Chains A and B, each alone.
Chain A
Amino acid sequence: MKNPSLGEFEELVLLVVAAQHDQAYGVSILEDLEEKLSKKLNISAVHVALKRMEDKGFVKSRFGGITSERGGRRKKFYIITAFGKQMLDQQYALRTSIYQQIPNISFG
Chain B
Amino acid sequence: MKFASLPQLSDAHYRRPLLHTPFFEASRPWIQTDSFIAWTGYSTPGVYSTTEHEYFAIRNSCALFDLTPMVKYRVSGPDAERYLNRVVTGDMRKLAVDKVVYTLWCDDAGHVIDDGTVFRLGPQEFRLCSQERQLEWLQDSAFGFDVEIAEITADIAALAVQGPTAFTVLRAIGLEGLEQLKPMAMVHQDWQGHRVTVSRTGFTGDLGYEVWIAPEGAALLWNSLMEAGRNRGITPIGYEALDMARIEAGFILPDVDFISCKHTIRLGRESTPWELNLAWTVALDKGHFNGRRALLAAQATGPRRKLVGLELDGNKAAHGSLVYADKDNTLQAGEITSAMWSPTLKRNIAIARLDAPYCDTKGSLWVDLYLHRELQWERRNVRCKIVERPFYIPARRRATPPPER
**Chain A bound to chain B:** no
